[in-house]
Chain A
Amino acid sequence: DGGITQSPKYLFRKEGQNVTLSCEQNLNHDAMYWYRQDPGQGLRLIYYSQIVNDFQKGDIAEGYSVSREKKESFPLTVTSAQKNPTAFYLCASSPRRGTYEQYFGPGTRLTVT
């Protein structure tokens, strides 16, 4: 999982601002995922993409948007419509649809005040 990078590690924003979190992988993986982690809540799926130029909503997509223009990159935008954006955000990738094993990036801790 050293091949998945997320930046920055910590991010601070004012309420009402959109913010984009970066996720890059050099593992040649087809599928990429975004999760949100809150204390005691486990990992909840925001969006996922199993192939370039295609992505699907996960369980908590409201207030978030993504793009998948390149195989290596899957940026997540947290919009001002997300009511409670402060959380730890994790990106993951897996080799291809149907292989299931997911490998995580180091995460970005977003704080919105």
Chain B
Amino acid sequence: GENVEQHPSTLSVQEGDSAVIKCTYSDSASNYFPWYKQELGKRPQLIIDIRSNVGEKKDQRIAVTLNKTAKHFSLHITETQPEDSAVYFCAATRGDSTLTFGKGTMLLVSP
């Protein structure tokens, strides 16, 4: 079945710096890769996603890149702000249309 590895598990940056979170997946048939942001005690919120026919997608300060050959995708956050502090999860689709999630990255942005 699909396996999704996410790194790093924690990431500390200064306000204004960039942050990059990386995920690898195992199923070459995966074709949809979302990223979720979860603040403490809250629900995960979809922040950006990418499909397999696209190499990069941007939405203001966040971007996702996908390398299907290498089976990895990354989340890039530029000009980080304290409110970006949260746990971020990547995911990839499986053959049954469900998602397999990575274990999460705790991002801490210090003012």
Contacts and interface: CB of A to CB of B under 8 A. Distances in A.
Interface stretch (B13-21, B44-52, B66-74, B76-84): B44-52
A97 B103 contact: no
A56 B93 CA distance: 16
A58 B98 contact: yes
B4 to A, nearest CB: 8
Interface residues of B, number: 22
A100 B32 contact: yes
B43 interface: yes
Nearest to B32: A100
Among A42, A58, A101, the one with the most B-chain Cβ atoms within 10 Å of its Cβ is A42
A48 B96 CA distance: 10
Contacts of B9: 40
Interface string A83-113: 0000000100000011011111111000000
Contacts of B36: 104
Contacts of A107: 42-43
Contact of A42 (B89, B93, B98): B89
Given A1-B45, A43-B44, 19 more contacts: A33-B98, A40-B103, A40-B104, A41-B103, A42-B6, A42-B89, A42-B102, A43-B89, A43-B101, A48-B98, A58-B98, A98-B97, A100-B34, A100-B93, A100-B99, A101-B46, A106-B42, A106-B43, A107-B43
